[in-house]
């Protein structure tokens, strides 16, 4: 081995180390921003940092987390889903009506809606359509169906769902357990299994995957079906908490979910996503937008603007750090 | 001497246990889901004026206003949960949905918090609802119409936002009124969405197909638009029931000055928010006899008093009324039968 070769090897190791550090920082960032928001809440309202407080502050974060994971799957495949919010609303209306009164019909409809998502994935891939256009169109379809099912607010969540979402485990509040569970399951599936690598690869380097003999049609269908599945879970969780549905209940989730993925260290292109980061990002957004704002006692005229400002600050911190990484 | 001391202490205790003093340490929050139109702005203004004075007079310790950034249900549900954590004793709420907030409302009740809803009410049984008697308002519109048009004739109805409980209630009241006054007949119905522009377009579209109209029964926010449509079509001006909006009352005054035009005006006062506040205060005061559904009167103006009210309404605004504690006590009394 010559001296030059050794030097090269050392250099390689040090750049690898730097890259690893940057990756580390990037994966720590969502946790850091969450800790920051929690500290601010603890300072403003110490009473909130308790079993009861976390149960209340975070239980509406469960559906946001699930919607964020749903969005993460399409983003992993370099696509964007603008219909996830109204889809969650649609699922909510089905849950509060058919799933309670005619469980079989409800299950069929919800499974069918996941099938529609899979078909959308196929359509987008086969016709090479921009997903933004297709899903924007679908958002009106879901909204329309939701209004058809539930023309005015009402309905009731099935009892098993109500008791599930009101579950009070000892010591650790349910929303935290749910978040850990979601993060663990999706992290294992997408980051630790070989097909998970293929799924992410379809967003990272589609051409290479295709040349290696993998079906891109299949990966797109799987990614969209997973989005549908988590969208269904999100809608059901939401109705389990609110107890009753409204056709417009999920509309705000579309943008929250995208922001959650990006805050959690994901990128719009390149198949770079992080399930754990996305869960942390969703929790951060849920906490920053509502509890933090309420506890700050801002004059009513400024509250709406302050909400926007908090979101911009949180997202700007993320952009600053990832720029340093480059 | 000792006896006297005991007596005076007892007297002092009795005095302090009567109304007012009891709620001076209580905090009341206002959860609002939307602030983007003139009605909601007037609602917030009225609430601010009344509660600021209540805090200064030490009737309550705090009365803070919280408005959500969007009209979404989950945002407001989260807001209610945060208000629970903040340790408020009561929450006054104008809700984004009658049903979908029930989960959060129940959590608030379970935490011992008094919840009073108004305008956008919640159906959760543990909450209080301050409801305006819209059905009576619809019925009264036809009663008043009978005074101005004793011979009867054809009516045009302008409906509000479809699918809402308010539109439903006013419409039902109008139908009841017409049933009691068979000299009137509703020959046409359009949707005006409580909005002058929408109402004007809708009336202008249906106008050519209608026989002669003697009166218009509507839901407020649509009267001025209807008047414009009739003027543009060159049709004779019917008796248009007004809805307390500034532009409607201004038009009414112009017509009255011209030829003594007569009509009637009614709508829900945005200041009903202040009434909800006082109801919450009364519940916190320990009153247990308050019904959970409180029907309160709407705000009406007649030929004699509308001109006095007009200068007080902001340009483009709507007439309001700030309720006092006495108003609330009277309203509660009227509902205990």
pLDDT at residue B14, as a whole number: 47
Q: Are residues B19 and B48 in the same domain?
A: yes
In a domain, B309, yes or no: no
A55 near A175, Cβ under 8 Å? Answer: yes
Residues 6+ apart with CB under 8 A from A29: A265, A277, A317, A318, A321, A322
Higher pLDDT, B146 or A252: B146
| pLDDT reported for residue B42 | 87
- Asked, for residue B312, whether it belongs to a domain, the answer is no
Based on the domain organization, do B141 and B100 belong to the same domain? no
Distance of CA B43 to the CA centre of its chain: 9
Which residues are paired to B36 by β-bridges?
A: none
Most confident of A79-83, A310-314, B1-5: A79-83
Mean per-residue pLDDT over chain B, rounded: 89
CB contact at 8 A, B60 and B21: no
CA–CA min distance B117, chain A (Å)? 16
pLDDT of residue A1: 47
Determine whether the interchain pair B85/A286 forms a contact, defined as Cβ–Cβ distance below 8 Å.
Answer: no
Boundary residue ending a domain (B249, B267, B285):
B267
**Residue B17 pLDDT exceeds 70:** no
The β-bridge relationship of strands B114-118 and B184-191 is unpaired
Q: Is A163 on the interface with B (CB under 8 A)?
A: no
Domain presence at residue B37: yes
Q: Do residues B170 and B276 share a domain?
A: no
Instruction: Report d(CA B71, CA B313) in Å as an integer.
Output: 26
Instruction: Indicate which CATH number applies to the domain containing B222.
Output: 3.40.50.2300
Question: Between residues A14 and A80, which one has the greater pLDDT?
Answer: A80
Q: Do residues B260 and B274 both lie within one domain?
A: no
With contacts defined as CB-CB under 8 Å, which chain B residues touch A153?
A: 97-100
With vertex at residue A78, the alpha carbon angle to CA A76 and CA A80, rounded to the nearest 5 degrees, is: 95
Q: Is residue B71 part of a domain?
A: yes
* Tens-digit pLDDT profile for residues B62-102: 999 998 877 788 889 999 999 999 889 999 999 988 888 99
**In chain B, how long is the greatest CA-to-CA distance?**
90
Vertex A33 angle, CA A28 and A34, to 5°: 100
CA distance A231 to A119: 15
- Give domain status of residue B259, yes or no: yes
What does the block give as tokens for B4? 């006297």
Taking alpha carbons only, the member of B271, B229, B265 closest to residue B248 is B265
> Chain B residue with minimal CA distance to A52?
B85
- Residues written for chain A: 326
Joined together, the tokens standing for residue A96 give 């509060």
Give the chain B residue whose CA is nearest to the CA of A166. Answer: B103
Cβ–Cβ under 8 Å, residues A101 and A156? no
Largest CA distance in chain A: 79
In chain B, which residues touch A (CB < 8 A)?
32, 35, 44, 48, 64-75, 77-79, 81-87, 96-104, 106-107, 163-164
| Claim to verify: residue B228 and residue B281 sit in the same structural domain | no
pLDDT-based confidence at residue B15 (cuts at 50, 70, 90): very low
**H or E element in which residue B154 lies:** strand B153-159
Given a cut of 50, is residue B16 above it in pLDDT? no
Band (A13; pLDDT cuts 50, 70, 90): low
Alpha helices in chain A (DSSP H): 3-44, 51-59, 61-76, 84-96, 98-101, 103-126, 131-149, 159-165, 174-187, 194-204, 206-211, 216-242, 253-263, 275-287, 293-295, 300-325
Number of structural domains found in chain B? 2
Q: Which two tokens stand for residue B50?
A: 């009344």
What is the spatial distance between Cα B33 and Cα A37, in angstroms, rounded to a whole number? Answer: 24
Mean pLDDT of chain A: 88
Residue with the two structure tokens 């919280």: B66
Contact residues, chain B, for A248 at CB < 8 Å: 71-73, 97
Structure confidence at residue A265 (pLDDT): 81
**Alpha-carbon span A276 to A180, nearest angstrom:** 9
- Residue-range definition of the domain harbouring residue B230: 134-267
How close is the nearest chain A Cα to the Cα of B37, in Å? 13
Q: Does A211 touch chain B (CB under 8 A)?
A: no
Q: How many residues does chain B have?
A: 337
Q: Hey, are the CB atoms on B69 and A307 less than 8 Å from each other?
A: yes
CA–CA dist B305, B297 (Å, integer): 17
B240 lies in the same domain as B156: yes
Within this chain, do residues B60 and B99 fall inside the same structural domain, yes or no? yes
Q: Which domains does chain A have, with CATH numbers?
A: 30-325 (1.10.3470)
Among B258, B265, B203, B267, smallest CA distance to B240 is for: B265
Residues B39 and B69 both lie in one domain: yes
Using only C-alpha atoms, chain A has a radius of gyration, in whole angstroms, of 21
Give the C-alpha distances (Å, rounded to integers) separating A167 from A170, A319, B78, B236: 10, 37, 18, 66
Q: Does the pLDDT of residue B9 top 90, yes or no? A: no
**Nearest-by-CA chain B residue for A53:** B85
Together in a domain, B55 and B160? no
A40 against B16, higher pLDDT: A40
Distance CA(A27)–CA(A13), nearest Å, equals: 21
Of residues A224 and A262, more confidence is placed in: A224
pLDDT(A5) > 70: no
Judging contacts by C-beta atoms under 8 Å, the chain A residues touching residue B48 are: 300
Q: Kindly state whether residues B20 and B90 are assigned to the same domain.
A: yes
pTM above 0.80, yes or no: no
Residue A16 pLDDT more than 80? Answer: no
Within-domain flag for B305? no
For residue B11, what are its two tokens? Answer: 């007297």
Q: Which chain B residue has its CA at the smallest distance from A309's CA? A: B69
Alpha carbon A98 to chain centroid distance? 26
Minimal Cα–Cα distance from A307 to chain B, Å? 7
**B108 part of a folded domain:** yes
- pLDDT value of position A25: 72
3-state helix, strand, coil in chain B (%, to 5): 50, 20, 35
Q: Which token pair is A308?
A: 């926007």
The confidence band for B105, taking pLDDT boundaries of 50, 70 and 90, is: very high
Identify whether residues B87 and B148 lie together within a single domain: no
d(CA B195, CA A320): 46
Pairing of strands B239-240, B299-301: unpaired
Are A153 and B64 an interchain contact pair (Cβ–Cβ within 8 Å)? no
Interchain proximity A248–B72, CB inside 8 Å: yes
Q: Note whether residue B306 is domain-resident.
A: no
- Residues of chain A in contact with residue B31, where contact means CB-CB under 8 angstroms, are none
Q: Where do we find the tokens 């048009």?
A: B149
List, for residues B269-319, the tens digit of each pLDDT value. 999 999 999 999 999 999 989 999 999 889 999 999 999 999 988 888 889
Long-range contacts of A157-163 (CB under 8 A, 24+ apart): A157/A95, A157/A96, A157/A100, A157/A239, A157/A240, A157/A242, A157/A243, A157/A244, A157/A245, A158/A95, A158/A99, A158/A100, A158/A103, A161/A95, A161/A99, A161/A236, A161/A239, A161/A240, A162/A240, A162/A243
- The answer to whether residues B225 and B331 belong to one domain is no
* Residues sharing a CB contact under 8 Å with residue B195, sequence separation 6 or more, in sequence order: B221, B222, B225
Between A109 and B196, the higher pLDDT residue: A109
Query: Hunting for tokens 């989950």 — which residue is that?
Result: B74
For residue B106, the chain A residues in CB contact (below 8 A) are: 243
Q: Above 90 in pLDDT, residue B3?
A: no
């Amino acid at each position: 081995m010559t001296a030059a070769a050794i030097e090269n090897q050392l250099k390689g190791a040090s750049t690898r180390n730097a890259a690893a550090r940057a990756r580390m920082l990037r994966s720590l960032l969502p946790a850091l921003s969450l800790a920051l928001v929690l500290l601010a809440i603890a300072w403003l309202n110490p009473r909130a940092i308790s079993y009861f407080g976390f149960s209340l502050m975070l239980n509406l974060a469960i559906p946001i987390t699930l919607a964020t994971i749903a969005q993460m799957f399409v983003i992993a495949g370099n696509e964007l889903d603008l219909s996830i919010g109204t889809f969650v609303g649609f699922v909510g209306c089905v849950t509060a009506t058919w799933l309670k009164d005619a469980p079989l019909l409800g299950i069929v409809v919800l499974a069918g809606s996941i099938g529609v998502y899979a078909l959308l994935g196929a359509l987008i891939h086969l016709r090479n359509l921009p997903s933004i256009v297709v899903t924007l169109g679908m958002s009106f379809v879901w909204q329309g169906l939701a209004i058809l099912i539930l023309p005015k607010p009402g309905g009731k969540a099935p009892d098993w769902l109500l008791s599930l979402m009101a579950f009070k485990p000892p010591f650790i509040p349910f929303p935290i357990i749910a978040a850990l569970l979601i993060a663990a399951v999706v992290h294992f599936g997408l980051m630790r299994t070989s097909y998970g690598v293929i799924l992410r690869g379809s967003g990272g380097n589609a051409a290479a995957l295709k040349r290696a003999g993998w079906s891109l049609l299949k990966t797109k269908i799987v990614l969209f079906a997973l989005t549908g599945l988590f969208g269904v879970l999100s809608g059901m969780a939401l109705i389990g908490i609110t107890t009753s549905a409204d056709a417009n209940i999920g509309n705000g989730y579309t943008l929250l979910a995208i922001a959650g993925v990006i805050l959690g260290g994901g990128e719009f292109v390149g198949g770079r996503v992080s399930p754990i980061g996305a869960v942390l990002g969703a929790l951060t957004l849920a906490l920053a937008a509502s509890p933090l704002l309420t506890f700050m006692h801002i004059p009513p005229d400024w509250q709406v603007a302050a909400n926007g400002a908090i979101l911009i600050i949180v997202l700007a911190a993320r952009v600053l750090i990832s720029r340093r990484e480059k | 001497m000792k006896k006297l001391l005991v007596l005076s202490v007892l007297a002092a205790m009795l005095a302090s246990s009567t109304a007012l003093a009891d709620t001076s340490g209580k905090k009341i929050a206002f959860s609002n889901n939307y602030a983007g139109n003139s009605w909601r702005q007037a609602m917030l203004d009225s609430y601010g004026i009344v509660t600021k004075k209540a805090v200064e007079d030490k009737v309550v310790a705090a009365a803070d206003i919280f408005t959500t950034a969007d009209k979404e249900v989950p945002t407001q549900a989260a807001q209610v949960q945060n208000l629970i954590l903040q340790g408020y004793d009561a929450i006054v709420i104008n809700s984004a949905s009658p049903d979908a907030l029930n989960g959060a409302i129940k959590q608030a009740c379970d935490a011992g918090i008094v919840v009073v809803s108004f305008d956008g009410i919640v159906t959760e049984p543990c909450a209080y609802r301050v409801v305006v008697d819209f059905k009576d308002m619809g019925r009264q519109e036809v009663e008043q119409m009978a005074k101005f048009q004793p011979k009867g004739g054809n009516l045009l109805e302008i409906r509000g936002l479809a699918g809402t409980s308010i539109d439903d209630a006013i419409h039902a009241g109008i139908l009841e009124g017409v049933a009691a006054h068979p000299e009137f007949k509703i020959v046409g119905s359009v949707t005006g969405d409580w909005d002058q522009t929408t109402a004007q377009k809708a009336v202008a579209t249906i106008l050519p197909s209608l026989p002669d109209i003697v009166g218009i029964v509507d839901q407020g926010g649509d009267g001025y638009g209807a008047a414009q449509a009739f003027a543009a079509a060159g049709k004779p001006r019917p008796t248009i029931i007004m809805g307390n909006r500034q532009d409607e009352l201004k038009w009414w005054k112009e017509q009255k000055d011209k030829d003594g035009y007569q009509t009637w005006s009614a709508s829900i006062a945005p200041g009903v928010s202040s009434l909800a506040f006082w109801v919450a205060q009364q519940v916190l005061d320990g009153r247990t006899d308050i019904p959970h559904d409180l029907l309160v009167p709407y705000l009406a103006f007649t030929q004699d008093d509308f001109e006095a009210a007009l200068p007080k309404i902001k340009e483009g605004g709507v007439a309001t009324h700030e309720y006092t504690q006495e108003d609330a006590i009277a309203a509660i009394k009227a509902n205990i039968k």
